[in-house]
C-alpha cells in the first residue's frame, strides 16, 4: 500500500472512530426529501473537508451533506461521510464512510471504513485493492449461479424486471453492499440513482481486482460522465458481463 493510500486510510479511520463514539447520542434530523441526516454526518464531512484537500493541493470537494465544488484540474474528492445513515441513526452496525479521489484519468484513490464490522477496504489505481491491509487477488470472470447472493436495490430490481441473476439481498448501505461484493460475499451488485460519491470507492476497488462497472444495457460506465450533481441515470452493475 502506497504512502498516499495509507495516509488517506488513516484520515478516514480516525473519522470512523469518531462516528462510532457518537452514534448513540448524535442529533437526528429529516431532510426535505425525507431522508435522515445526523449531526455526525455533518461533523465528519466538515473534518474531511479540512483534512483531505491538502493531500492533493488545489483539489475540489464533493460531499453528500455540504455540497459540490466546481471541478478543477487538480482533481476532486468524493465523500459520503456516513453511508447508511438510517442504519447508523437506529444503532444498526451496517454503515460506513466512503472516500475517493478522482483526477483527469479517472478514479485514483479510494477507501471504505466500516467501523462496527472492523473492515477497511482501500484501493489505488494500478496498485490493487486491500482488505484490512491484505492485498486482494485479481479475479477471472465467473458466472453467477441462481443460488448465489447478489446486491440489488429496490429501484434497480423494478427496472430490471426479473433480469437479475442470483438471489437478491440488500443491506441498506452502499458501502456494505459494495464492500461485500468486492470481497465476493455478494457475486455482483446492481444499482440505479446513486451519485458518484456513493459508489466511487467501491468501483475503484472492484476494478483493481478485475471486476468491471457497466450499465446493464452493456454501455460504458464512465465516472467522468457522472462528475456533476446528478444521479446515475440507468441500471448498472459491478460484476462480470456474463453474470
Question: One fold for both 3-135 and 149-238?
Answer: no
CB atoms within 10 A of CB 47: 15
Nearest to 82 by CA among 51, 41, 119, 52: 41
Do residues 103 and 91 lie in contact, with contact meaning Cβ atoms separated by under 8 Å? no
- Amino acid 37: pLDDT: 86
C-alpha radius of gyration, the chain, whole number: 17
> Cell 483539489, residue?
59
User: Model confidence over 13-63: pLDDT tens digits?
Assistant: 999 999 999 988 888 788 787 787 889 999 999 999 999 999 999 999 999
- Amino acid 155: pLDDT: 81
- Amino acid 218: pLDDT: 86
Do residues 71 and 44 lie in contact, with contact meaning Cβ atoms separated by under 8 Å? no
Measured distance CA(65)–CA(71) in Å, rounded: 17
**26's grid cell:** 448524535
Fold designation for 149-238: D-Maltodextrin-Binding Protein; domain 2 (3.40.190)
The domain limits of the chain are 3-135, 149-238
- Amino acid 241: pLDDT: 67
- Amino acid 102: pLDDT: 96
- Amino acid 9: pLDDT: 97
| 232, pLDDT greater than 80 | yes
Sign of CA dihedral 143, 147, 151, 152: positive
Considering only 60-69, 82-91, 215-224, which range has the smallest mean pLDDT?
60-69
User: Model confidence over 208-224: pLDDT tens digits?
Assistant: 999 999 998 888 899 99
Fold designation for 3-135: Fructose-1,6-Bisphosphatase; Chain A, domain 1 (3.30.540)
- Amino acid 46: pLDDT: 95
- Amino acid 31: pLDDT: 79
Do residues 221 and 183 lie in contact, with contact meaning Cβ atoms separated by under 8 Å? no
| 180, pLDDT greater than 90 | yes
Q: Is pTM, for the whole model, over 0.75?
A: yes
Amino acid at each position: 500500500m502506497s504512502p498516499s493510500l495509507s495516509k488517506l486510510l488513516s484520515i478516514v479511520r480516525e473519522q470512523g472512530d469518531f462516528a462510532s463514539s457518537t452514534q448513540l447520542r448524535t442529533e437526528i434530523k429529516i431532510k426535505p426529501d425525507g431522508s435522515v441526516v445526523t449531526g455526525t454526518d455533518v461533523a465528519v464531512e466538515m473534518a474531511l473537508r479540512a483534512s483531505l484537500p491538502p493531500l492533493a493541493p488545489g483539489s475540489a470537494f464533493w460531499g453528500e451533506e455540504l455540497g459540490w465544488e466546481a471541478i478543477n484540474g487538480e482533481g476532486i474528492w468524493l465523500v459520503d461521510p456516513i453511508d447508511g445513515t438510517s442504519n447508523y441513526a437506529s444503532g444498526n452496525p451496517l454503515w460506513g464512510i466512503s472516500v475517493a479521489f478522482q483526477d483527469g484519468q479517472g478514479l485514483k484513490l479510494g477507501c471504505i471504513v466500516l467501523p462496527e464490522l472492523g473492515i477497511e477496504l482501500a484501493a489505488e489505481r494500478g496498485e490493487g485493492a486491500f482488505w484490512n491491509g491484505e492485498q486482494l487477488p485479481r479475479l477471472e470472470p465467473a458466472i453467477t449461479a441462481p443460488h448465489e447472493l447478489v446486491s440489488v436495490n429496490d429501484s434497480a430490481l423494478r427496472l430490471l424486471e426479473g433480469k437479475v441473476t442470483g438471489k437478491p439481498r440488500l443491506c441498506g448501505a452502499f458501502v456494505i453492499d459494495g464492500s461485500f461484493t468486492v470481497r465476493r460475499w455478494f457475486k455482483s451488485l446492481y444499482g440505479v440513482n446513486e451519485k458518484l460519491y456513493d459508489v466511487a470507492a467501491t468501483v475503484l476497488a472492484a476494478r483493481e481486482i478485475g471486476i468491471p462497472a457497466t450499465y446493464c444495457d452493456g454501455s460504458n460506465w464512465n465516472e467522468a460522465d457522472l462528475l456533476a450533481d446528478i444521479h446515475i441515470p440507468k441500471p448498472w452493475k459491478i460484476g462480470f458481463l456474463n453474470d
